[in-house]
Structure 1
Amino acid sequence: MTIPKAPIRVALVDDHTIVRRGVQSFLKAFEDIEIAGEAASGEEALKHIEEWLPDVMVVDLLMPGGIDGIETIKQVHAILPNTRIVVLTSYTEDTRVVSALRAGAIGYIRKEADPEILLDAIRVAARGQSLLDPTIASIVMQELLQGSKSGTKLTEREQEVLRQLAMGRTNPEIAVALVVSEETIKTHVGNILTKLQLAHRTQAVIYALKKGLISLDEIDLP
């Protein structure tokens, strides 16, 4: 008997009630999604985050109160490092985009995007992978060009694993492609993130773009 997978627990953090309710209504239509909780501010989200234990948190960047979206991301990432964070916002300014990704966000979607893109971003994030809105890709690459860690050397195999990561492939898929064990790939991924001082795979995608290891049309973009 096949045991069904548990639904993805999603928490919504946005100061606009109409946005939260709209997103919640949309997501509830899918059996693989469960709404774990919702909050109108970063403070409220942090108060309940350990109660909700979400797999994915969808958060706006600009919210009232002393804790904005970026600080909320930082604190949630520190409390629940396995919770994946997807930014859903109207802001595409350079500093906000980069700050959100550096704080620990794994996806970045504009509120103007099709709802299906948000759904894809949540599902992808739950697998530990990235989905970036195409409009921010150039912003991210420009930032990486200015803040390169080019002195770090990766082995040829690590470069190939990084390229596979940036293409959105899972560890098992990379293992099959490179004809090695999944455990070996896990080791390579850990070494890559450590050497490049990266927190997660979103940043690996950015690095691969900057280094020319992969082109934009090869990434899992909406």
Structure 2
Amino acid sequence: MSAIRIVLADDHQVVRAGLGMLLEVVDGIEVVAQAGDVDATLRAVLGHKPDVLVLDLNMPGTLTSLEAIPLVRERSPLTATVVLTMQEDPEYARRSLRAGAMGYVLKESADTELVEAIRRAADGQTYLNPSLGARLVAMPEKPTGPPGDLSGREVEVLRLLALGHTNAEVGDRLFLSVRTVETHRAHVQQKLSLSTRAELVRYALDHELLGGA
């Protein structure tokens, strides 16, 4: 059988190097490209059409990692996505699987779980970290989709603005230009029919967007 072709996507070079070393000694797996942001990830997927994309959940880019997952399915239907993350909140696992990911692995368990998740994903099967799977089954499902028809990126901008950050600070945190932040803010205010920061803060509080701040 031919090797499972992998694209590794993580914004930390040291992490990518470690993952590469972990996978290069595994028979039947070949890392064909690496990427450090969402935009480079999408280019790598389109260029190589890998069997599996190993994707960090928190990377800079025009889109969020969660927003990129369905794009990968659309543009490279034979590529399965395995999320590799530090996010232990089961809700992130739920969102990732709902977006189309075939696997969800915690970085702390990568040495024992990642290879199995990759092989299952390449075979069309789903893999979920066992402890997260148990917690996911036990927790009630939250309403689907972001509030007010906002995109994931718009929710991030709204949350940071509501926490008191300036447009420039939001841009620094999300790796966006100030102009892009201003555009997202304008879209948020238009969609929600809000005009002041106080109204944005109240909306964020009412919809529990400030948790974990």
Q: How far does the alpha carbon of each residue in 1:159-199 deviate from its partner, in whole angstroms, 9 at most, with x for none?
A: xxxxxxxxxxxxxxxxxxxxxxxxxxxxxxxxxxxxxxxxx
Q: What's the secondary structure of 1:67's corresponding residue?
A: coil
Picking from 72, 95, 101, the partner of 1:99 is 95
What is the 5 A alignment of 1:157-176?
A: none
How many residues in Structure 1 have an aligned counterpart in Structure 2? 144
Q: How far does the alpha carbon of each residue in 1:28-83 deviate from its partner, in whole angstroms, 9 at most, with x for none?
A: 11230111211001111112212111101100111122322111212111111221
Q: Give the equivalent residue in structure 2 for 1:135.
A: 131
CA contact (8 A) 2:52 2:118 kept: yes
What is the 5 A alignment of 1:1-222?
A: 5-142=1-138
Q: 1:94/1:30 Cα in 2 relative to 1: closer, same or farther (>3 Å)?
A: closer
Cα-Cα RMSD: 2.0
Unaligned regions of 5+ residues in structure 2, if any?
144-213
Q: Give, as a single letter, the amino acid of the residue that structure 1 aligns with 2:85.
A: T
- Distance in 2 (CA, whole Å) between partners of 1:13 and 1:75 is 15
Q: Give, as a single letter, the amino acid of the residue that structure 1 aligns with 2:43.
A: K
- Distance in 2 (CA, whole Å) between partners of 1:30 and 1:106 is 20
CA contact (8 A) 2:52 2:121 kept: yes
CA contact (8 A) 1:125 1:131 kept: yes
Quick one: percent identity of the two aligned structures?
36
The TM-score with structure 1 as length reference comes to 0.60
CA contact (8 A) 1:62 1:69 kept: yes
TM-superposed CA distance for 1:94, in Å, is 3.5
Q: Give, as a single letter, the amino acid of the residue that structure 1 aligns with 2:23.
A: L
CA contact (8 A) 2:4 2:51 kept: yes
- Distance in 2 (CA, whole Å) between partners of 1:79 and 1:55 is 13
Unaligned regions of 5+ residues in structure 1, if any?
148-222
Q: Give, as a single letter, the amino acid of the residue that structure 1 aligns with 2:47.
A: E
The TM-score with structure 2 as length reference comes to 0.63
Higher Cα radius of gyration: 2
- Distance in 2 (CA, whole Å) between partners of 1:21 and 1:146 is 36
TM-superposed CA distance for 1:117, in Å, is 1.2
TM-superposed CA distance for 1:139, in Å, is 3.8
Q: What's the secondary structure of 1:113's corresponding residue?
A: helix
Q: What's the secondary structure of 1:10's corresponding residue?
A: strand
